[in-house]
Chains A and B, each alone.
Chain A
Amino acid sequence: MIEKKQQIFNKLGLHARAAAKLSHLANMFSADIYLIFNEDKVNAKSLLGILTLAASVGNEIILQAAGADEKEAIQAIGDLFDRKFDEEI
Chain B
Amino acid sequence: MRRITGKAVSPGIAMGRALLHNTTRQEILAEPISPRAVERETWRLENAVKKSRAQLKKIHLGLQKVMGKDAAFIIEAQQMLLTDSQLLNEIKGAISAKLVKAEWAIRLVERHYQEIFRSIPDLTFKSKGNDVSDVLNRLIANLRRAPATKPAAGALAGAPPGQYVLVADDISPSEAATLMSNRRLLGLVLNKGGETSHTAILARTLGIPAILDTGNATELIASGDTVALDSVAGEVIVQPTPDAALEIGRKIEQFGQYREQLKALSQLPELTRDRHPFHLYANIELPFESEVVQSFGAKGIGLFRTEFLYLDSKMSISEEEQCLIYKKIAQNVYPHPLVIRTYDLGRDKSDPTRPRREDNPSLGLMAVRLFLKEREPFKVQIKAVLRANASGNIRILFPMVTEIEEVRAIREIMAEARRELQRAGTLPKKDVKVGIMLEIPAAVRLIRHLGDDVDFFSVGSNDLIQYLLAVDRNNADVAHLYSPFHPAFVHILKEIRQEVDRAGKEVTVCGEMAGQRLPALMLLGLGFTCFSMNALAIAEIKRVFTRVDLARLRRIVARLDRLGSRSEIEELLRTEIDRAYPGLLQG
Contacts and interface: CB of A to CB of B under 8 A. Distances in A.
A17 interface: yes
A89 B426 CA distance: 14
Contact of B81 (A17, A48, A87): A48
B410 interface: no
A89 B319 contact: yes
Interface in B66-90: 73, 76-77, 80-81, 84-87
Main secondary structure, interface of B, reads: helix
B125 interface: yes
B316 A48 contact: no
B77 A54 contact: no
A52 B80 CA distance: 15
A86 interface: yes
Interface in A4-59: 11-12, 15-18, 20, 23, 43, 45-49, 51-52, 54, 56
Interface residues of B, number: 29
Contact of B86 (A16, A46, A54, A88): A46
B200 to A, nearest CB: 25
Contacts of A18: 316
B125 A51 contact: yes
Contacts of B315: 11-12
B116 interface: yes
Contact of A88 (B117, B314, B377): B377
Contacts, number: 67
Given A16-B314, A48-B132, A52-B117, A89 B380 contact: yes
Nearest to B76: A20
Contacts of A12: 124, 314-316
Q: Considering residues A45, A52, A56, which has the most beta carbons from chain B within 10 angstroms of its beta carbon?
A: A52
B128 A16 contact: yes
Contacts of B314: 12, 15-17
B261 interface: no
Contact of A11 (B120, B319, B377): B377
B566 interface: no
A16 B30 CA distance: 32
Interface string B369-388: 00000001100100100000
A45 B377 CA distance: 29
Nearest to B86: A46
A15 B124 contact: yes
A15 to B, nearest CB: 6
Interface of A: 11-12, 15-18, 20, 23, 43, 45-49, 51-52, 54, 56, 86-89
Q: Which 6 A-B pairs rank lowest in CB-CB distance, beginning with the nearest? A: A46-B86, A54-B125, A54-B120, A12-B316, A52-B116, A47-B80
Given A15-B316, A48-B86, A52-B116, 10 more contacts: A12-B315, A12-B316, A17-B313, A20-B76, A48-B87, A49-B86, A51-B125, A54-B122, A88-B376, A88-B377
